């Protein structure tokens, strides 16, 4: 079985995955560096049984996945999952369509309509780039003065992407959120991400602590994964007094801080799923 491994820099996650693939004798792993490939549209013939996508760059991942799929290759994740998870607006739309609880959210395209949406929700609100990760360019906005300043900066200094205003109600979450891992329709592990800062990404210094999976976490995580198209994803959950809410769903998920913390062989599960998908199971 031939598996293509689409990558940029090899981070710890990729090392873990490569080690895991190398343990499986049936697999020939072909490294595909997204900095070196070029596609010959309509002429390329791919002989991969599956491609696993581990690019750091969302646009490269999305476009490469689209072209591999067009060439008949099964991809993990699919271009559909990459499209939806790569865009918080599309993720929220998919969650809403499937009736999955999420923080109150508004989308607006101008400064005036964005302010109106924020005041309708009530401060504090969180303004996020629709496409982005690692907690970058997130703004917690506590009042109208801050709202006006940030919206003006985004409009004047940003690209047009920055004027798609994704606005969420700020959720009080007592110093932590939950990150759960879903592989092939199964919630395999979860961590709490604890931080004194309101942004709890581990990339921003939050501490990872094992989170025992209860039925509610498992069910909501799997539902969220299914809503974006399944595959291998990590779900951000908030604990609220009304139960859990899904904040976002991530593809090309990072898990290096979660293997020892949870005791779960996350890359092992991913490789099993890739093999299963390649076999068409
Ligand atoms: N509406 C919100 N209320 C409270 N905290 C939030 C909210 N949105 C995001 N955060 C915090 O910021 C972190 C990063 O936000 P997230 O939407 O997951 O974006 P990213 O794609 O950058 O990870 C979350 O894990 C959480 O700690
Ligand atoms: Mg996140």
Atom 4 (ligand 1) nearest CA: 171
Return the closest-CA partner of residue 226 out of 103, 17, 84, 105: 84
What DSSP character marks residue 50?
Answer: E
Whole-angstrom distance, CA of residue 162 vs CA of residue 24: 44
pLDDT band at 164 (very low <50, low <70, confident <90, very high): very high
pLDDT at 281 over 80: no
CA distance 234 to 222: 10
pLDDT tens-place string over residues 23-32:
999 999 999 9
> What are the residue ranges of helices labelled H in the chain?
12-23, 58-70, 79-85, 88-97, 111-121, 144-157, 215-227, 259-262, 266-278
Confidence of residue 142 (pLDDT cuts 50, 70, 90): very high
Query: Do the Cβ atoms of 4 and 30 come closer than 8 Å?
Result: yes
Render pLDDT for 56-109 as a digit per residue (tens, 0 to 9).
Answer: 999 999 999 999 999 999 999 999 999 999 999 999 999 999 999 999 999 999
pLDDT digits (tens, 9 = 90+) for 17-52: 999 999 999 999 999 999 999 999 999 999 999 999
Closest approach atom of ligand 1 to CA 125: 1
For residue 168, the ligand 1 atom closest to its alpha carbon is 1
């Amino acid at each position: 079985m031939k598996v293509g491994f689409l990558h940029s820099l090899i981070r710890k996650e990729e090392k873990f995955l490569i080690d895991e693939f190398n343990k499986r004798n049936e697999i020939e792993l072909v490294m595909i560096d997204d900095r070196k490939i070029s596609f010959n549209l309509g002429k390329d013939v791919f002989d991969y049984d599956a491609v696993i996508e581990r690019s750091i760059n969302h646009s490269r991942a999305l476009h490469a996945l689209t072209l591999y799929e067009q060439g008949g290759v099964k991809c993990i994740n699919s271009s559909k999952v990459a499209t939806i998870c790569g865009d918080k607006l599309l993720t929220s739309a998919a969650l809403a369509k499937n009736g999955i609880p999420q923080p109150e959210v508004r989308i607006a395209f101008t400064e005036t309509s964005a302010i109106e949406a924020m005041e309708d929700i009530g401060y504090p609100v969180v303004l996020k780039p629709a496409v982005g990760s690692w907690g970058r360019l997130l703004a917690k906005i506590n009042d109208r003065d801050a709202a006006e300043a940030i919206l003006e900066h985004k409009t004047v200094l940003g690209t047009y992407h920055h004027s798609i205003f994704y606005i969420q109600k700020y959720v009080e979450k007592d110093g932590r959120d939950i990150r759960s891992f879903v592989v092939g329709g199964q919630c395999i592990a979860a961590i709490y991400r604890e931080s004194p800062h309101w942004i709890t990404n581990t990339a921003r210094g939050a501490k990872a602590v094992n989170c025992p999976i209860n039925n509610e976490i498992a069910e909501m995580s799997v539902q969220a994964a299914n809503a974006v198209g399944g595959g291998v994803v990590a779900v951000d959950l908030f604990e609220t007094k009304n139960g859990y809410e899904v904040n976002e769903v991530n593809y090309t998920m990072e898990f290096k801080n979660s293997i020892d913390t949870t005791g779960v062989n996350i890359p092992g599960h991913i490789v099993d799923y890739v093999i299963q998908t390649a076999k068409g199971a």
